[in-house]
Structure 1
């Protein structure tokens, strides 16, 4: 570990003993007459992975851009590493890393040249070659950005976010366009960052990514906070009392809810059903009998806690948004 990495870790550990890394208090933002963020409040603790989730148009991007100092709140307050992102931007910028959803890389530069360029903005940057190896781009280091694949551009954008040894990293759709191997590598990088005390704010449309990586998950919709907790608490992982099955859409959920021991029956999306019960073995017998009597064919049946995706769809709806 380099001396600067040790310093960054020590600073992050010191923050853990003090105030939250991010504090959002009663934050609102309007575009004309349209309110895109509506009295949003949450905090992010030092050294944790915090996932900010929501459908398109929910206010995620506006919230993150305000945290990064690119927009000013119309109401409320924002503090990042104890600083005002607008008024104290010069002090804040060297301490954060930003991975944009739109990569914005220089198309004529090679991957190595891009990293060298950004390394020049920091007093103690990481080794360019070591970082290229870390994100799996050593073989593509001399390739111009316009010739990189979508997944390679995402990995280079991640490297740009990490080049300055940040205390706080904003990751916007970090694994979009990546193949499974690159996705796993990125997940491990995120876990390594967390182990070293770096705080991460993550936005993603991949619910399994948020569920596996995050310490806290916030779901927002129409600019308002509608859920905030650990993934385990949100999905009920501590209580394996869920039966999930896939069958033809339109089954009668009132009849399913009337089965013995069923607390709740819901079609969370077309053809995907969730039943809650404290008597799972009995429910399985009754459910399969009910389906057999109606000549309904199952294509999938799982027992256990619900998923973050199920909860997300239940809270925000299943309609596609632009």
Structure 2
């Protein structure tokens, strides 16, 4: 968000609205191409709400409109019950944003960075206490350019937290981080949530969405195609479990599809061996695994609990992009 003079405190901070963020009929288009096609959702106080989808699904366009970086072509955004589009001063005092492509001032020291951002808000958090919380107290006098990637990401998150706003929006907060740094960021978000902060975050990483989000909306080609808690979505779209099957017979997936119908994902190659992999969603995965094992050509048949990735495959028909944890395995 633009750096301006000190911001007024938003009205209604102590009134306890049912939803701290409400989005209705939001549309965003670029050169006549609709990037966000009329989505609606609400976020409860103290909740971590996720927008899950592939790159290009419309997640960043959505939060850009919510945070006031781009005026939507249609729709309504309310923060703490106030119309954020007509009252930008309420938005600035109530919501902080960490964009995906955010960067630090390389020559500013760590404490100076947080002091600069703190000056924008009427009642910011104590900078030294926040430095201790994010584990950078010993780096307070170091220039931002001297920090590791994980330390820089923690500092960026702190710039969104220092204003002590009731709502914080994070766009792909852990992209490019190693496992240790990623979990450190997750821990900071959880601690802030425990203190009462409400989060809206975007991610394409299935494990991150399942681990972090109380509720989420699945976005696909600018539309919200499903919403609920991770457990609710799994129960709704992938009840029971999943059976993973590897085979060297290309026709086996078709034979299983005849038995299980649309619950079979598309077959895909698993490497030079020529083997194919496909998965079957079933209410009774162990019984299904036994049935498949008895078929000629079936190999490495493994039943397992369903995950959010299975839900994504089922409702979008596309394979999710690899999250950080998957990229490390490749």
Q: TM-score range by the shorter chain?
A: 0.7 to 0.9
Partner of residue 273, structure 1: 278
Contact 1:53 1:204 in 2 (8 A): yes
Partner of residue 205, structure 1: 204
SS for the counterpart of 2:185 is helix
How far did 1:263 drift? 7.9
**Residues 256/277 of structure 1: CA separation in 2 closer, same or farther (3 Å cut):** same
SS for the counterpart of 2:264 is strand
What does 1:230-241 align with in structure 2 at a 5 Å threshold?
A: 230-236=229-235, 241=240
Query: What TM-score comes out, normalization by structure 2 length?
Result: 0.82
**Residues 268/56 of structure 1: CA separation in 2 closer, same or farther (3 Å cut):** farther
Contact 1:268 1:313 in 2 (8 A): no
Partner of residue 144, structure 1: 143
Q: Which runs of 5+ in 2 are unaligned?
A: 1-9, 270-275, 322-330
User: Greater shift after overlay, 46-55 or 232-241?
Assistant: 232-241
For the aligned residue pairs, the C-alpha RMSD in angstroms reads 2.9
Number of matched residues? 304
**Residues 95/268 of structure 1: CA separation in 2 closer, same or farther (3 Å cut):** farther
Partner of residue 195, structure 1: 194
What does 1:60-209 align with in structure 2 at a 5 Å threshold?
A: 60-209=59-208
How far did 1:248 drift? 5.0
How far did 1:273 drift? 2.9
User: Greater shift after overlay, 250-259 or 172-181?
Assistant: 250-259
Q: Which runs of 5+ in 1 are unaligned?
A: 1-7
How far did 1:112 drift? 1.7
Query: What TM-score comes out, normalization by structure 1 length?
Result: 0.83
**Residues 257/20 of structure 1: CA separation in 2 closer, same or farther (3 Å cut):** same
Partner of residue 219, structure 1: 218
C-alpha distance after superposition, 1:157-212 (max 9, x if no partner): 10101001120010111122323223222222222233333211010121111112
Contact 1:28 1:76 in 2 (8 A): yes
- CA distance in 2 between partners of 1:71 and 1:107 (Å): 27
Partner of residue 253, structure 1: 253
C-alpha distance after superposition, 1:48-77 (max 9, x if no partner): 111011222221111101111111121122
